[in-house]
Amino acid sequence: MGKERGKGASLMEKKDGDAGRKLSRRDFLRVGGGGLAGAALLGAAGCGGSGGSGSGGGPVNITVAFGRETSGTLAQLIKEFNKKNGGKIKVTWRHMPSDTGQYFNQIQTEFQAQKTNIDLIGGDVIWPAQLAANGWILDLSDRFTESEQKKFLPGPIQSMTWQGKIWGVPWFTDAGMLYYRKDLLAKSGYKNPPKTWDELKSMAEKITKEQGIQNGFVFQGDKYEGGVCDAMEYIWTNGGNVLKNYNTNTVVIGQPPAIQGLATERSMVTSGVAPQAVATYQEPQCEPIFLGGKAVFCRNWPYMYSLAKQYKMDPKNVGLAPIPVSGNNETASCLGGWNFYISNLSDKSKQDAAYKFIQFMVSPENEKRFTLKGGYLPTLRSLYEDKELLSKVPTLQNSTAISHTHPRPVSPYYSDMSLKMQEQFNDSLKGTVSPKQAARTLQGQLTQIIKQGKNA
Amino acid sequence: MTTAAKPQRRGVGWLKEEFGNPERRTAYIMVLPVFVIVLAVAFYPVADAIWLSLHGGTPTITGSFVGVQNYVNMFENPDFQSGLVNTIIFTVASVTIELVVGMAIALAINRSFRGRGLVRAAVLIPWAFPTVISATMWRLMFQDQVGVISYVAHALGLVSHPILSDQTLLMIACVIVDAWKTTPFMALLLLAGLQTIPGDVYEAARVDGANAIQRFIRITLPLLKPTMLVALLFRILDAYRVFDLFWVLGGQQLESLSTFVYQSVRVSQLQFPEGNAAAVFIFISALLIALFFIKVLGMQTSTEE
């Protein structure tokens, strides 16, 4: 144990100076994970594949990892890019699980094994700090300069920034939005969607009573990542946060505004506006309720808009608005979306080629095509003034929501933080602990995680 | 295999006797690859996991030796505590139900009646589903707005909370689904045992005037004990390692020992050493349960004696 087997790993030894110990853990993961025979095969394949980079005049082969893309636009763009760079760069798409958690686990396992078979990652917005802290992704500060960054929406850029450096290029974005039924609101005499949470509650109460609708408001309250996103929106729109300035080591979740946020979320259930079972809802449970005509309001991501027809709901009756606020606070949407990260384990020539591919993908014309055909929200500011896009992609018109996105805590220990937040936010929503208690518990737990992380 | 695994203490003469004989030598050589593979895939990872569980660190870097500190942290972790308690409650409740109901089913289908073959096959259907599939199916039925069970339970006034967000109700649901799924398996094992009991024993008892209950307690139970112990051990170890049922049906809201290990070693960045310790803990405690069955309850491990 501890002896080396391939190029990729010896490259890494120089980087972290802790190779001996690292290898033993890696060997353990291999043996424990896949059984010896399988692991040995994998190991051999990994070594074989890691060599040969652009030497000998052939094209630079780079592998981009990405999950599912149903519209076929990504495959088309890769084809075009390869054609344009004929003979110099060849991009191959490696299909990854569409579930973010599974995808991340796979990437993590491969990086832990120091495999160099992925050069470019199309990955979730919450990953950069975790990947960067382990030395797995490239610092893009000299390539992706500040003047370049200014072309993009501020939220995604903020989520890519950690320890003063930028680790990824935003590709497409996602923002939490308030869906409402235009027809139901009009019938009860409301012209505009609610601006505050209190307005939402009173409107929902009136409409459900007057028109016999089963639910006032549904959102994602389950114990999972989406539950964190929803709770964060309540916290932000009450003026609170989890970490000070999103990425510092100061935990502020225990302070009154954050507690107020969790209390607002809980009040949706106690007032009867949201069903009690909202604490078990994820996106798939919200869709049939709202689009099936059983709710007045729904918080969800932009994707749901395109499903209206599938549920026989007239898209004309579906309205989109920014997330409501408490008092005079600013609206805030949880930032989602996917970005490009370059592997730190790849050779320099591959990294350069990968960056070229990124530039191709985030060029205005290609982002526009991706939005038109795939329905993904672009990350370039300029596209939000594009008349064609605005008329063809209705979710884009909700630009207040999109320009007010906030990242979840940017931390190398986000996974641990998320586990704790999922638990406490869910308990607070269910009422098994008070919002105050949940926030206080989190204040301690998150502080502990940061402390532990510094020592690790 | 057994001869290679258990060398007897007999000195050099024994070695000569064992390896001098060409036939035995061939046997050893043929067994050797299997022995090496078992050593590599079974013994080595376990030993390594135990060794690692005594170290700190993250998934990427093995830290320094910390003794049993990881185990102390693990036992102090509230998630582990609830996982342990939930696992024990689940195991005891589901295996008890499965034993009782499985026995009843086994006794019923042991009698001869028309269509017995069909009934025996039909009983096994729930067991044939992969757990994730049946867990997903049941989760839908427990759901609040579309679930049939939820609807009926609310209509009858049995529950006031949504089933899927209440820890107690979730646990009951998991026990019910596990019993539904694995009782047939238990029944099948017990049925096999019942069929090894010769009919003339019952005949003799009947002649002596023993009633059905006496026959069951004095004949069926004692003669069925070896089968029951095997079936119980199978089910207890299975239930003890429960993962998918809790994960899918419980929507990750219900912690078990195995889900704790998964969260720690796969999701968390910091809890890795504790997760490692928990994995070792599951292994050792499962081993102890098996040993208890074999040594204390006198379960037969081979048919030789």
Whether B289 shows a pLDDT value over 90: the answer reads yes
- Chain B contact for A292 (CB, 8 A cutoff): no
| Closest Cβ–Cβ partner in B45, B60, B164 for A32 | B45
pLDDT tens digit sequence for A230-263: 999 999 999 999 999 888 889 999 999 999 999 9
Per-residue pLDDT at B112: 78
Residue B123: pLDDT over 70: yes
Which of helix, strand or coil describes residue B204?
A: helix
Q: Which of A29, A100, A419 to mutate to test the interface with B (most CBs of B within 10 A)?
A: A419
Residues of A in Cβ contact (< 8 Å) with B141 = none
- For residues A380 and A331, give the distance between their C-alpha atoms in angstroms, rounded to a whole number: 21
The answer to whether residue B1 neighbours chain A at the CB level (below 8 Å) is no
Rounded to an integer, the average pLDDT of B263-284 is: 91
Q: Which residue on chain B is closest to A413 by alpha carbon?
A: B269
Q: Is residue B145 less than 8 Å (CB to CB) from chain A?
A: yes
pLDDT value at residue A57: 65
Higher per-residue pLDDT: A72 or A12: A72
Measured in angstroms, the CA of A345 and the nearest CA of chain B are apart by 15
Q: Which long-range contacts (CB under 8 A, 24 or more apart) does B12-15 make?
A: none
**Mean pLDDT of the region A225-230:** 95
Three-class secondary structure assignment of A288-302: HHHHCCCEEEEEECH
Residue A163 pLDDT > 60: yes
Q: By CA distance, what is A454's nearest residue in B?
A: B270
Q: What is the pLDDT of residue A56?
A: 53
Q: Which residue of B has its CA nearest to A2?
A: B62
pLDDT tier, A89 (very low <50, low <70, confident <90, very high otherwise): very high
Residues A53-77, mean pLDDT to the nearest whole number: 81
| Phi and psi torsions of A16, nearest 5° | -110, -10
What torsion do the CA atoms of B103, B108, B109, B112 make, to the nearest 10 degrees? Answer: 140
Select from A105, A134, A280 the Cβ nearest to the Cβ of B60. Answer: A134
> Does A51 have pLDDT greater than 50?
no
Band the pLDDT of B284: cuts 50, 70, 90. Answer: very high
Find, in chain A, the residue whose alpha carbon is nearest to that of B52. Answer: A25
- Of A12-26, A157-171, B2-16, minimum mean pLDDT range: A12-26
Mutate to test the interface with B, among A280, A283, A311, A416 (most CBs of B within 10 A): A280
Q: Which residue of B has its CA nearest to A215?
A: B145
Query: How distant is the Cα of B215 from the closest Cα of chain A, in angstroms?
Result: 50
Judged by a CB distance cut-off of 8 A, whether residue B49 touches chain A is yes
State whether A275 and B162 contact (CB < 8 Å). Answer: yes
* Best mutation target, B253, B265, B283, to test chain A (most A CBs within 10 A): B253
Chain A touched by B58 (CB under 8 Å): yes
How far off is chain B from A69, nearest CA to CA, in Å? 25
Enumerate the residues of chain B whose CB falls inside 8 A of the CB of residue A28: 45, 48-49, 52
Q: Is pLDDT at B258 greater than 60 in this prediction?
A: yes
**What pLDDT shows up at residue A401?**
92
Task: Show residues of chain B in contact with A24, CB under 8 Å.
Answer: 62
B37 contact A CB<8A: yes
What is the model's pLDDT at position B303?
53
Residues 4-43 of A with CB under 8 A from B: 18, 21-22, 24-25, 27-29, 31-32, 35-37
User: What digits encode the pLDDT tens for the residues A340-379?
Assistant: 999 999 999 999 999 999 999 999 999 999 999 888 899 9
Contact (CB, 8 A) for A298 and A290: yes
Instruction: Say if the Cβ atoms of B143 and A415 lie within 8 Å.
Output: no
- In chain A, residues 74-133 whose CB comes closer than 8 Å to chain B: 101, 105, 108, 112, 130
Of the candidates A25, A29, A277, which has its C-beta nearest B162's C-beta? A277
B170 touches chain A (CB under 8 A): no
Q: Which pLDDT band, with edges at 50, 70 and 90, does A225 fall under?
A: very high
Question: B60 CA to chain A: closest CA distance, Å?
Answer: 6
pLDDT tier for residue A211 given thresholds of 50, 70 and 90: very high
The band of B11, judged by pLDDT with boundaries at 50, 70 and 90, is low
Taking all residues of chain A, what is their mean pLDDT, rounded to a whole number? 87
Q: What is the value of ipTM here, to two decimals?
A: 0.82
Statement: residue B34 has pLDDT above 60: yes
**Model confidence pLDDT, tens digit, residues A390-420:** 999 989 989 899 999 999 999 999 999 999 9
Q: What is the pLDDT of residues B49-105, one digit of tens each?
A: 899 899 988 776 778 899 999 999 999 999 999 999 999 999 999 999 999 999 999
